[in-house]
Structure 1
Amino acid sequence: MMDRRTLLRALVVGGAGALSVGGFLFTENIIGPYRLTARAIADRFEEVNGTFRGFRRNHAKGVAVRGYFESNGTGAELSTASVFRGGKYRLSGRFSLSGGNPYAADAADSVRGLGLCIQLPGDNQWRLAMINLPVFLDPTPQDFYDRMLAFAPDAATGKPDPRIMSDYLATHPGTVAAMAIAKAAPVAPTFTTTTFNGLNAFEMTNAHGVKVPVRWKLVPETTTKAPAVDRGPHYLFDRLIADIAQRPRRWAMVIVVGVPGVDRTDDATIPWPDGRKTVTVGTVVLTDITTETADNVRDLNFDPLVLPDGIAPSDDPLLSARSAAYAESFRRRTGEAGGRGAVEAGGRA
C-alpha cells in the first residue's frame, strides 16, 4: 500500500486527471462560472506534465487492445440500451498509466486507466473511461484545476511544496476524505488483476420508463496475487502484453444501482454505501494487444458522453468538462507529428 507522499505524487502527476476535468461546457469553450476552459485545463496539464507532441496530455503512455463485450441480457432490467441485449459486441480500447510522458518508467503506484469503445447496432457506440481509483478526488472542475496548481512540482526542488499542499487541503475537506479512501484501497499487482471504476454516476431507463442512478465497474476474472516483475521501464505493460498473448483476459461488467434521491449523483468523491444492488450485465473479453498508433486508438477519445439510448448523463458536473477536455487534447495531438506509442506490442488490434 502506498504512503501518503507517494499517493499525492501519483495523483498530482496524473491520477486525478485520469478522468480529466469537470464542469459545464458552453459554446465559448467555457467550463464553469469562472471562465475555466478546456484549453486552460490542457495548458495546465502541459505545465505540470510537460508537452509530448502527438500524445494525450494525460495518460500518454498506453497500448491498444481489441476484443468484445458479451452481454448476458440481464442489463435489460435496468436499461433499453442495445448493448444489454444478449450477444457479442466488438470493442476497441486502451490501457494506460497516468502522466503526460509516454516514455516514463512504469511504477506500481501510477494510476491505471482503461478506455473502451463498444460498437453497437446502427453505428452507435458506448464509450467508457475508467481508472483503478475507487473515487475521484475533486467534486468540481474548479477544485480540480486549483489542486493541480497547488500540487504542482516546485521548479527548484522538482517536488510539490508541502506547505502549499497543506494549505489547500485545509480548505477542501472533501478532497481529503476522497484521498483517504483512495489510499486505503489495495493496489492490484498487474493490469489484468485490476478493477476499473467508472466513478461518475449516470442514469438508466428501462422499457417501463423506470429511471435509476447507476455507476459501473469492471471486475477481473483473474485474481492471482503474482506481481509483475520489475525488469525494465515497461514492466507493467510487458506483463500485460504477455498475459493477453497467453489467453484472452476477462472482466465482469457490474452495474451498481443507486437509490434515487438518496445516493449522490453530482459528486464523484463520495462513494455509495456498500450493499447497494449490483447487476452483472456481461463480460468484457480482451483478445489482442498492439502498439498504439493513429491506425487504432491514438485518435479515439474515450468520451463519457458518447452513450447509447437508454443511458444518460447524471447531474455530475465532471462529465461535460471531461468531454470538452478530451476534445481539446484530441485537437492538439492530431495537429502534431508523432504519437506512436512508446510501448511496443504485437497482436492485431
Structure 2
Amino acid sequence: MPTPSPRARPSHHLGRWVLVGAPVLALGVAFSYTAGWLAPSRLSAQRIVDALQQNAGWHPGYRRNHAKGVCVSGYFESNGAAAAYSVARVFAQGRTPVIGRLAIPGGNPAAPDDSSPVRSLALRFDLPGGEQWRTGMNNMPVFVVATPQAFYEQLLAARPDPATHKPDPARLAAFFAAHPETGPFLAWAKTTRPSASFATQSYYGLDAFYFIDAAGRKHPVRWRVAPETADHTDAPAGPPSKDDLTDDLDRRLAQGPLRWHLLVTLGAPEDPTNDATRVWPAERPTIDAGTLVIEHAQDQASGPCRDVNYDPTVLPHGIAISDDPLLAARASAYADSYRRRTGEEAHVPGSAPAADATKASQP
C-alpha cells in the first residue's frame, strides 16, 4: 500500500495520521458491507474488495488484504476460568489445537514491515466434533470507524493519486473531519511506531460478542491476547529490513514457544456492543481464560493457514455475534476475496490446488 506524505495537515494530529494511515485504511476488507445484492446502488462486498484492489494494486493469487503474512501453529491451554460464562468447549480445561496467521495490513505482499504500525493475529481453534472458533485481531484497541459505509468512504479517501501514487492529504483530512468517531484511533496512531516484533504485541478482537452460559444467559464480551514476552526492545540490531517481523519471529521461535494470555472483558448492560470505535470502561472485570502457545511458523504459500478463512462469525456453540454491523460484513467480503485469489491461483502454472471454497481465506 502506498504511504502518503507526512506533510499533510490541517492539524498536527492529521500529519501523524497521514504518515501511517494509508496502510491502516486497507485493514477494512474485514469490515465491509454485505447488504448489496438486491440494489446496485447499495454498498456490497464486491465494491469494497474492488476498492481495496484498486488502492493497493492487483497481486494475483494473494489476499486482497493482509497479503503479507506468515502461518503459525500451536495450541490454546484453557484454565477453565471462562467456562462459567460460556459453554464453548474451547473453555473447558485442556488443550485445543490452533492454526493462525500473523500479518500486516494491505494488499501488497512485498510491502516493507514498517509501512504500517498495525499488526494482526488471526486464529482458528479446532474444537472436538468439528466445531471451530475463528477470530481476527489487530494490535490497535479500537477500529477506525463504526460502520461499513464509513469504511468504504475511508477507502475512497485513501485512493492513491495517479500522478503521485499517494493518497491526497486534503481528501484524507476531509474524511477524518467528517467522522469524529475516528478520534480514538487517530490518538493511537499518533503515538504508535511500527514494531519489529509480532511477539511483543497485544491483539484485540475489536468487535463485541456474547458468551452464552449453561443457563442460556448472554454475557457481552470483548477479548484480546496479551503477550508473556515482556521486553519491548524489539528494534532490529542492524539496518531495517522489509522482512524484520518474520526474521524476528523465526529467531524467537528457535529459542522456544511464544505465549499470550487470552483476556476476556465482561461488559455491562450499558456498554455499546455495536460500535468498535468505543472502548469499554477500564473497571470492567477481565478473565484470564488461558494461554495461547505458538510453537511453529511456516511460509504462507505452503503452511496450514493458506486456505483458512479467519471470518469472526464462524463460532462454536457458546459464543454468538453481537449487533455490531461490521461483523456480518466481514464474512461476505472474505468470501469474495477468496473466490478471486483462488480463481487466479487455478491459472498459475505449478500452483497448488485451492482448498474448498467453504474454507475461504483471510482477505
TM-score (norm 1): 0.90
Is 2:254 the partner of 1:251?
Answer: no
User: What is the correspondence of 1:283-322 to structure 2 with a 5 Å cutoff?
Assistant: 283-294=291-302, 296-322=304-330
User: What is the correspondence of 1:262-273 to structure 2 with a 5 Å cutoff?
Assistant: 262-273=270-281
Is 2:102 the partner of 1:95?
Answer: yes
Contact 1:15-1:110 within 8 A present in 2 as well: no
Q: What is the CA distance between 1:9 and its match in structure 2?
A: 4.2
Q: What is the CA distance between 1:104 and its match in structure 2?
A: 1.5
Residue 186 to residue 14, structure 1, CA distance change in 2 (3 Å)? closer
Q: Counterpart of 1:173 in structure 2: which amino acid? A: P
User: Over the residues paired in the alignment, what is the CA RMSD in angstroms?
Assistant: 2.2
Q: Counterpart of 1:91 in structure 2: which amino acid? A: V
| Alpha-carbon separation, structure 1, partners of 2:322 and 2:215 | 19
| Alpha-carbon separation, structure 1, partners of 2:106 and 2:15 | 17
| Alpha-carbon separation, structure 2, partners of 1:247 and 1:125 | 27
User: What is the correspondence of 1:134-145 to structure 2 with a 5 Å cutoff?
Assistant: 134-145=141-152
Q: What is the CA distance between 1:71 and its match in structure 2?
A: 0.5
Q: What is the CA distance between 1:231 and its match in structure 2?
A: 4.1
| Alpha-carbon separation, structure 2, partners of 1:115 and 1:54 | 19
Q: What is the CA distance between 1:4 and its match in structure 2?
A: 4.5
Match for 1:147 among 150, 154, 157? 154
Residue 148 to residue 320, structure 1, CA distance change in 2 (3 Å)? same
User: What is the correspondence of 1:113-262 to structure 2 with a 5 Å cutoff?
Assistant: 113-184=120-191, 188-229=195-236, 230-260=239-269, 262=270
Is 2:88 the partner of 1:81?
Answer: yes
| 1:346 aligned partner | none
Match for 1:7 among 11, 17, 22? 17
Residue 76 to residue 314, structure 1, CA distance change in 2 (3 Å)? same
Contact 1:18-1:59 within 8 A present in 2 as well: no
| Alpha-carbon separation, structure 2, partners of 1:18 and 1:131 | 11
Question: 1:224-263 deviations in whole A, cap 9, x for unaligned?
Answer: 1212314422112100111112100000000011102x11
Structure 1 stretches (4+) deviating beyond 6 angstroms?
Answer: none
Residue 271 to residue 29, structure 1, CA distance change in 2 (3 Å)? farther
Question: 1:69-105 deviations in whole A, cap 9, x for unaligned?
Answer: 0001111111111110000011111100111111112
| 1:281 aligned partner | 289
Q: What is the CA distance between 1:188 and its match in structure 2?
A: 4.7
Q: Counterpart of 1:250 in structure 2: which amino acid? A: R
Contact 1:299-1:334 within 8 A present in 2 as well: no
Q: Counterpart of 1:136 in structure 2: which amino acid? A: F
Q: Counterpart of 1:21 in structure 2: which amino acid? A: F
Secondary structure of 1:192's counterpart equals coil
Q: Counterpart of 2:135 in structure 1: which amino acid? A: L
Q: Counterpart of 2:245 in structure 1: which amino acid? A: L
Secondary structure of 1:335's counterpart equals helix
Contact 2:34-2:44 within 8 A present in 1 as well: no
| Alpha-carbon separation, structure 1, partners of 2:193 and 2:165 | 28
| 1:49 aligned partner | 56
Is 2:24 the partner of 1:17?
Answer: no
| Alpha-carbon separation, structure 2, partners of 1:218 and 1:148 | 28
| Alpha-carbon separation, structure 1, partners of 2:172 and 2:14 | 12
Residue 72 to residue 108, structure 1, CA distance change in 2 (3 Å)? farther
Secondary structure of 1:76's counterpart equals coil
The farther-off stretch of 13-22 and 225-234 is: 13-22
Secondary structure of 2:82's counterpart equals helix
Residue 189 to residue 273, structure 1, CA distance change in 2 (3 Å)? farther
Q: Counterpart of 2:31 in structure 1: which amino acid? A: V
Is 2:316 the partner of 1:325?
Answer: no
| Alpha-carbon separation, structure 2, partners of 1:235 and 1:181 | 22
Q: What is the CA distance between 1:25 and its match in structure 2?
A: 4.1
Is 2:117 the partner of 1:110?
Answer: yes
TM-score (norm 2): 0.86
| Alpha-carbon separation, structure 2, partners of 1:274 and 1:188 | 25
Secondary structure of 1:66's counterpart equals strand
Q: What is the CA distance between 1:129 and its match in structure 2?
A: 0.2
In structure 1, the gaps of 5 or more residues are 341-349
Identity %: 43
Question: How many pairs are equivalent?
Answer: 335
Residue 99 to residue 126, structure 1, CA distance change in 2 (3 Å)? same
